[in-house]
């Protein structure tokens, strides 16, 4: 088997946080274009107030996850980040750091291998709308 | 060095969540079979109510981690997920999303490089027993 | 494109936890030495009381993140881990497991691709100073 690599990026306009967006279809398209059949995909959000994970993307879970994230670092507390920067997004930085910026998704038979009810989501934690870049690296045989 | 790839999967029967299972030995066996000596292993759980991380796998830490996870998203709260689905696992989805589905483990000298007291664990957050699939991708030289 | 791999490690002396250290420059140097231009870097901390994520590395966010992590698993609670081990770091194990030991960073044009205000940090959660090893694997074309 010859191993190859395919790099790409997607840009996703996100609303004021917490905004949770399903990016599965866009990642799937990159896997198709890569012609890689067996390997894995790494996706990493560029910027320190975004994160990536997987969920069952339905309105209930989206709402429940927002509540939980806002309890990890509530927007209405005081943050030391504000003392220097006064941009009101101290909670955004903490939330994003706890969730983490990257994920690895298996590629099998030329497609991402996820559960039937499992989607990859990009989260904007920032207190303003942001266009987020996700860097995507697919490595494997094909 | 020639780079090669080895893909495999393990199936793990898990009890009603929170169930935390040590999968280190099963991943180690896959690394051995891969004949890859220098590289890394990606492991991703298939399904949106499972997660993967590392811990010192001893009963005390297992118990402490369960408590902390149940405080992140307590089973006895109300969840919007329930309004549509009524399957009682709203907390499971939130817990799994916060922990994340994937991990990267270094491979050195033909073995996973972990701490002496560090094991890879698969977690079932669901409110029923589940057989979980973990997809494993090893990439490297060997 | 020929795919190659470069493995290395860094050792980082860390103070009693929570200590959050910026390791971006050290990872950047490894990427430069790898001569890999397009791919990704995996970094994993060895040991079960350390973690890795990204933040805007400035004193305010560092302080805010410490507070949030200590709320996830407060040092002054009772932990089952203590009953057997009496080493006072039950909270350290829980904190590290929730944050996770590994990260994937894209490599583009021979450099790590991060946001302008996004740095990779290594965190010591342990209740004593530790010299931590981070294993680094760079895979890609170059």
Q: How large is the ipTM?
A: 0.97
Q: Please state, in angstroms and rounded to a whole number, the distance separating the CA atoms of residues C53 and C18.
A: 14
> In angstroms, what separates the C-alpha of B46 from chain C's closest C-alpha?
18
- Specify the number of domains making up chain A: 1
> In angstroms, what separates the C-alpha of B71 from chain C's closest C-alpha?
8
Residue B97 at interface with chain A, using a CB cutoff of 8 Å = yes
Phi first, then psi, for residue B124 (nearest 5°) are: -100, 120
DSSP state letter for A132:
E
Question: Which tens digit of pLDDT belongs to each residue from C86-140?
Answer: 889 999 999 999 999 999 999 999 999 999 999 999 999 999 999 999 999 999 9
Cβ contacts below 8 Å, chain A against chain C, sum to 117
Contact B64 C101 (CB under 8 A): no
More confident residue, C86 or B5: B5
pLDDT at B51: 98
Q: Determine the structural domain holding residue B13 and report its residue range.
A: 3-141
Q: What is the DSSP code string of A39-89?
A: EEEEEEESSTTEEEEEE--SHHHHHHHHHHHHHHS-TTS--HHHHHH-SS-
Question: Which tens digit of pLDDT belongs to each residue from C36-50?
Answer: 999 999 999 999 999
Contact B47, A118 (CB under 8 A): yes
Question: Which tens digit of pLDDT belongs to each residue from B74-118?
Answer: 999 999 999 888 889 999 999 999 999 999 999 999 999 999 999
In the sheet where C111-112 sits, what is the strand order?
A: C3-14, C130-141, C38-45, C102-108, C111-112
When scoring A37, A56, A70 by the number of chain B Cβ atoms within 10 A, the one with the most, hence best to mutate, is A56
More confident residue, A26 or C85: A26
Instruction: Please give the residue of chain A at the shortest CA–CA distance from C1.
Output: A4
Contact A84 C55 (CB under 8 A): no
pLDDT at C120: 98
pTM for this model (two decimals): 0.98
Average pLDDT over residues C46-73: 98
* CATH number of the domain within which A129 lies: 2.60.120.460
Question: Which tens digit of pLDDT belongs to each residue from B34-74?
Answer: 999 999 999 999 999 999 999 999 999 999 999 999 999 99
pLDDT at A101: 98
Partners of residue B116 on adjacent β-strands: none
């Amino acid at each position: 088997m010859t191993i190859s690599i395919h790099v790409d990026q997607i840009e996703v306009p996100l609303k004021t946080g917490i905004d949770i967006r399903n990016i599965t279809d866009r990642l799937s398209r990159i896997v198709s274009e890569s012609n890689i059949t067996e390997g894995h995909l790494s996706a990493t959000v560029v910027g320190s107030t975004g994160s990536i994970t997987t969920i069952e993307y339905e309105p209930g879970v989206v709402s429940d996850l927002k509540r939980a994230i806002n309890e990890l670092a509530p927007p209405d507390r005081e943050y030391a980040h504000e003392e220097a920067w006064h941009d009101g997004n101290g909670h955004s930085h903490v939330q994003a750091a706890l969730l983490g910026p990257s994920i690895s998704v298996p590629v099998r038979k030329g497609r991402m291998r996820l559960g039937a009810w499992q989607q990859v989501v990009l989260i904007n934690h920032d207190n303003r709308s942001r266009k987020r870049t996700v860097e995507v690296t697919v490595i494997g045989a094909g």
